[in-house]
Amino acid sequence: MFTPLDDIRAMVTNPKYTYRQRVAGLANLAENLLDPPTVSDECTSALEKRIICDMYEGNAPYRPRYLLPDYDRVLTQGSAFLELPPAQNLDDALAFLLIMYSQTPSITGYPVYFGDLDTLLLPYVDHVSDEDLYAKLKRFWISLDRMFPDAFAHTNLSPVYNRVARTILALERELLQVVPNISLKVEPILTSNEYLLDAVSTVFACGKPHFINDEMMQADLGHDYAAVSCYNSLKIGGGSHTLVRINLKETVLAGGGGVDEFFATTLPHYLELTAELMESRIKFLVEESHFYTSHWLAQEGLLSLDRFSAMFGIFGLAEAVNILMEREGSSDTYGHSAKADDLSYRITSTIAAWVANRPMPYCEGNDGRAMLHSQSGIDLDLGVTAGTRIPIGSEPPLFEHLKTVSRHHHLFASGISDVLSFDDTAVKNPQAVVDVIRGAFKDGMRDFTFNLDSNDFIRITGYLVRKSDLAKMPSARHASTYLGAGSVADSHVDQRIVKRVMSHESSPRASS
């Protein structure tokens, strides 16, 4: 039987962790010496069985899981806490931002949001030559990766192609860094073909950026939003208190019977337990940790409680559907049958309606409700598929894949994603990839992420690791690489079915 002291000793002496990783680990162990926020026995039991899950955030939340400071505001108003005047030029702005990031908490200890860096920096580049801009941004970009070595740290690019965005994409192709994660906001008219081609060629080099559906995001979150961490879309100046998730596979297994019983009793029961857990954690954070009244980001108006909500995560949809189909006497599976796909949508739309109907305290950022999230997994998840994805290794061809998953996307305001693996035929025809991205957004996709099979990067759940870093384990500089190693070993994320979009030289008819 391990005692907390044994855990502490193991953390202090573990040679594979850096100093900073040990400090973070010790803080987590200390926090967990406290009792968790009070919930019902039924809720505790569901948590212990991992039917519902608090993401191991810790027993006493004392900072929001994800927060998105209003960097635009702080650069123009300065900060009393940081003793910094408003930024006057590009050098000021870059130094200011690095200082800000070092003082921005999150669940990982590193900031999950660096700001929409192209829009943030544009006001400061008018009198900066292209050469200087490249050199200054390059130093800044290297600093991000070395000072905040966490693949969840995320920046966004605005829909309009501009000098800073162009420079950032060029730097990405040169530096091949894990940090920052990047999302490009794509608007059907404002975002030019030239910009998308530039971004797609950057994905070929380093797996970044993600592409996000700006119209859909703005409809759900308003103009000031960003995708952060592992594609969680949230309000700037706000964020998410916590992320609690429900394992739909375990939910189905916990109840008996078929589809009718699942919808009538099992599902609502566990949804309520998930909400109960979420509610208790939010109340502790807001009422007892005093974060929102004491932290300087809140005091200086860079965060406000009324722009926060909480993320209600689901995962294991594929297994839930397949088990229910089996109980109904069918061997149809998710991603390969219209009936199974229809059941999947009945499940997600039922959950969406339930969450939209359940009041949640301190969630004024979403009209007093939690926000639905398709949770893309953690390294401990075994035998259960991330979010609403199709199980790795059984993905259908691209067209069917997109049709299956895209119908769910509009329901998940706080984020959903599917990782599509492409082979080298994409490299010879980048316009085809642009076509597919634009088509996917017209068809209702929220987030489009693809992985090129042949580069050094691999998407785990939404964050990147370098295959060459995995080979160097143990001694990785990025904390997230450890999580990635677990996922490659256990969940075979390196075995996604690669989309070989067919050519007439290898027509399916020839092989059928």
Partner 1 sequence: MRAHHAQVADVIQFSWVDGPGNRFVLFLQGCNFNCLACHNPQTIPLQTPRAKDYSVEEVLTKIRESLPYITGVTVSGGEATVQHEFLFDLFAAIKAAPDLKQLTTFIDSNGNAEKHIWEVLLPVTDGVMLDLKVLDNERHIALTTQSNTAVLETIKYLASRGKLYEVRLLLIPGQNDSDEELRKTAQWLLRADPSVRVKINAFMSHGVRASARTWAEVSDEDRLRYSQIMTEEGILDLV
# residues contacting partner 1 (CB under 8 A): 29
Residue 355 exposed, middle or buried by CB count within 10 Å (0-12, 13-18, 19+) = buried
Cα–Cα distance between 32 and 54 in angstroms, integer?
A: 13
Containing H/E element for 13? helix 4-13
The smaller minimum CB distance to partner 1, of residues 139 and 428, is found at 428
- Closest approach, Cβ 453 to partner 1, in A, equals 14
Residue 509 exposed, middle or buried by CB count within 10 Å (0-12, 13-18, 19+) = exposed
The smaller minimum CB distance to partner 1, of residues 128 and 196, is found at 196
Cα–Cα distance between 236 and 433 in angstroms, integer?
A: 30
Q: Helices 398-409 and 430-442: crossing angle, nearest 10°?
A: 40
The smaller minimum CB distance to partner 1, of residues 139 and 504, is found at 504
Told to check if 131 binds partner 1 by CB under 8 A, we report no
The smaller minimum CB distance to partner 1, of residues 286 and 398, is found at 398
- Closest approach, Cβ 394 to partner 1, in A, equals 19
Told to check if 197 binds partner 1 by CB under 8 A, we report no
Q: Name all contacts of 483-487 with Cβ < 8 Å and 24+ positions apart.
A: 483/378, 483/379, 484/151, 484/379, 484/458, 484/460, 485/379, 486/379, 486/380, 487/377, 487/379, 487/460, 487/461
Told to check if 432 binds partner 1 by CB under 8 A, we report yes
Told to check if 176 binds partner 1 by CB under 8 A, we report no
389: left (phi over 0), alpha (psi -120 to 50) or beta: beta
Sign of torsion over alpha carbons 158, 160, 163, 165: positive
Among 25, 123, 258, 439, binds partner 1 (CB under 8 A): 439
Among 278, 352, 436, 452, binds partner 1 (CB under 8 A): 436
Told to check if 189 binds partner 1 by CB under 8 A, we report no
Told to check if 425 binds partner 1 by CB under 8 A, we report yes
The smaller minimum CB distance to partner 1, of residues 471 and 510, is found at 510
Told to check if 454 binds partner 1 by CB under 8 A, we report no
Told to check if 502 binds partner 1 by CB under 8 A, we report yes
The smaller minimum CB distance to partner 1, of residues 179 and 426, is found at 426
Binding track over 391-410 against partner 1, x by CB under 8 A: ------xxx--x--------
- Closest approach, Cβ 506 to partner 1, in A, equals 7
Cα–Cα distance between 131 and 383 in angstroms, integer?
A: 50
Whose CA is closest to 68, among 306, 234, 196? 234
Inter-residue contact 248 to 316 (CB < 8 Å): yes
- Closest approach, Cβ 197 to partner 1, in A, equals 11
Cα–Cα distance between 69 and 48 in angstroms, integer?
A: 34
Told to check if 296 binds partner 1 by CB under 8 A, we report no
- Closest approach, Cβ 407 to partner 1, in A, equals 13
Cα–Cα distance between 5 and 347 in angstroms, integer?
A: 44
User: Which region, judged by CB under 8 A, interacts with partner 1, from 178-186, 239-247, 251-259, 432-440?
Assistant: 432-440
User: Which region, judged by CB under 8 A, interacts with partner 1, from 163-171, 433-441, 459-467, 490-498?
Assistant: 433-441
The smaller minimum CB distance to partner 1, of residues 374 and 406, is found at 406
Among 171, 221, 440, 465, binds partner 1 (CB under 8 A): 440
Among 6, 328, 443, 490, binds partner 1 (CB under 8 A): 443
Told to check if 509 binds partner 1 by CB under 8 A, we report yes
The smaller minimum CB distance to partner 1, of residues 372 and 434, is found at 434
Cα–Cα distance between 505 and 512 in angstroms, integer?
A: 14
Cα–Cα distance between 104 and 83 in angstroms, integer?
A: 15
Among 14, 18, 299, 431, binds partner 1 (CB under 8 A): 431
The smaller minimum CB distance to partner 1, of residues 378 and 419, is found at 419
Task: Give 145's strand partners.
Answer: none
Cα distances (Å, whole numbers) of residue 244 to 272, 296, 357: 12, 26, 17
Among 287, 342, 435, 490, binds partner 1 (CB under 8 A): 435
Cα–Cα distance between 53 and 36 in angstroms, integer?
A: 13
User: Which region, judged by CB under 8 A, interacts with partner 1, from 51-59, 259-267, 411-419, 431-439?
Assistant: 431-439
Whose CA is closest to 30, among 6, 56, 4? 4
Among 203, 378, 426, 464, binds partner 1 (CB under 8 A): 426
Q: 157: which DSSP letter?
A: E
Inter-residue contact 498 to 422 (CB < 8 Å): yes
End-to-end CA distance of the chain: give it in Å, rounded.
57
The smaller minimum CB distance to partner 1, of residues 223 and 504, is found at 504
Binding footprint of partner 1 on the chain (CB under 8 A):
397-399, 402, 425-426, 428-429, 431-436, 438-440, 442-443, 501-510
